[in-house]
Amino acid sequence: MKKLLLMAVLLMASAAAFAQNFQLHRDFGRNIYSDEEAGRQLVTLTYEQFKADKLGQWYWFIDLDMHHDGIGAAYTEISREFKFAPESKFSAHIEFDGGLNSSTRYQSAALIGPAYNGHNADFSRTWSVQAMYKQYFKGQFHDAYASLQLTGVWGINFADNRCTFSGFIDFWRGEQANGHGQLVMLSEPQFWYNFEKWKGFSIGGEIEVSNNFIFNTYNDKSFFINPTIAVKYAL
């Protein structure tokens, strides 16, 4: 699940050529920060898909943030990677981020840069590092500006593949209302228990850790930790 910005990119090197899943997260952010995050979503439904081919791989996801009265926001990221050579761990990464909520649109961005992807022999451990130029487009309330983003992604299966620890961390240059830059950090580590009896079903959750990411007009707090509990079904 990638939230609000979010995420940043979940790019999983995988032995499977095609994979997709649904995740349903109950978010506790508004319970923990009842003032700063009073309008935060109750539930997020995520659909994500990964597909590898001879040239590289596609990855995309969409987050639907839900409130008592319905869907309040939708956010998506779509990325494509092209391998520099058939067996190379280096790829060219191209990405688009954007979405909307009930009152406005998220500022869209395009990213491009190199990626380094790796895995161990049985694909139980995967990782990716991406260093990208990021161009924000002019938005409803924001001017266009250039940025840089560094992303790390990981996935670890253990306990006979019954448990999965995965996630990402992003660092990028954001821009304040006065035009001054600031370092933004977002990470969403996830833990899943994968049921052996019910193939495809998992239970777990994530912890969204961020700084200078959440729009907060209540006070000057910039660092937040928002946990969820979740279920996942992989097709």
Tokens at residue 165, please?
């620890």
Host H or E run for residue 29: helix 29-32
Average pLDDT value over all residues in the chain? 91
Q: Give 18's contacts (C-beta < 8 A, 6+ positions apart).
A: 49, 50, 51, 52
Asked if residue 159 lies in contact with residue 146, where contact means CB atoms within 8 angstroms, the answer is no
Whether 225 has a pLDDT exceeding 60, the answer reads: yes
User: Which residue bears the tokens 């193939």?
Assistant: 199
Give the pLDDT confidence score for residue 217 in this predicted structure: 86
Summarize pLDDT for 67-78 with one digit per residue, the tens: 999 999 999 999
Q: How far apart are CA 5 and CA 75, in angstroms?
A: 7
Given a cut of 60, whether residue 177 has pLDDT beyond it is yes
